[in-house]
Amino acid sequence: MGGQTTRPTLVMGILNVTPDSFSDGGRWTDVDAAVAQGLRLAADGAALVDVGGESTRPGAARVAPSEERERVIPVIEALTEAGVATSIDTMHADTAVAAVSAGASVVNDVSGGLADARMAPAVAELGCDYVAMHWRAHSHEMDAADVYEDIVREVGDELAARVDALTRAGVDESRVILDPGLGFAKVTDSNWPLLADLDWARGHRVLIGASRKRFLGAAIAAVGGDGADPSAREHATTAVTTASALRGVWGVRVHDAAAARDAIAVVSALTNTSHRAR
């Protein structure tokens, strides 16, 4: 099955230094507060703290790369100095280069290189791991792009095209991690096939980013729960983390690192146990 790894699933902790992210916008816009949250995420089990300076929620306004860098670089520098491993959540090549120079070890690009033609050659030059997410449109128009006949095949084909473009630009294919883009041009039911069937990954490492997203709220509401508040979707997020870890994915991107760490620990204990006759 595509996307599996023999190592325990990695926890990527979300640190949005934005005023408008859907779940935690405005909480960590101050550098000191953001750094403190990054340290908490690391202490709670995040192997990477994913620092982002531009919201990609549905309908979000774009942010100038210069403003994005002003938000993220001081945070990455401080976390690096404190010994915390970071990734940079950006669609902009200039921000990616600045962030890696400041200490980030992974570039997490929700556009898979489509939003900035300079991203692929920049990543090739940086020589770092690169998360290429499935993406069809910017935030203000992505819901309208939720049109598929066979979503697993189409997402797989579109991601394969991104991998081809990246490798042609000089990116080492072994450095590429694929993300199905849950919630991006996938409003509700379109997300579940991509979690149930990892064939779209075609052997690459997989990052799953389901944390607190709308499709989880819809699933909760369908059984009479209150899924409207993103913070009320944490148990559902942990269920996805558990399922992802059982499938052997490389990483999960989450708001609650401790919950993900504990779920992965249980999966590891379960899968590594051996039956002994009594």
Axis crossing angle, helix 119-126 with helix 93-102, rounded to the nearest 10: 20
User: Structure tokens of 199?
Assistant: 């064939």
- Which of the residues 69, 162, 213, 261 is marked catalytic? 213
Axis crossing angle, helix 119-126 with helix 151-168, rounded to the nearest 10: 60
CB neighbour list of residue 10: distance below 8 Å, 6 or more residues apart: 47, 48, 250, 251, 252
Tell me the CB-side half-sphere exposure of residue 127, using CA atoms within 13 A.
0
- From CA 209, how far away is CA 160, in angstroms rounded? 19
CB 50 within 8 A of CB 96: no
- Which of the residues 71, 212, 253, 261 is marked catalytic? 253
What DSSP state is assigned to residue 201? G
Is 186 part of the annotated catalytic residue set?
Answer: no
- From CA 248, how far away is CA 153, in angstroms rounded? 20
- From CA 30, how far away is CA 27, in angstroms rounded? 8
- From CA 53, how far away is CA 61, in angstroms rounded? 12
The catalytic site residues sit at 213, 253
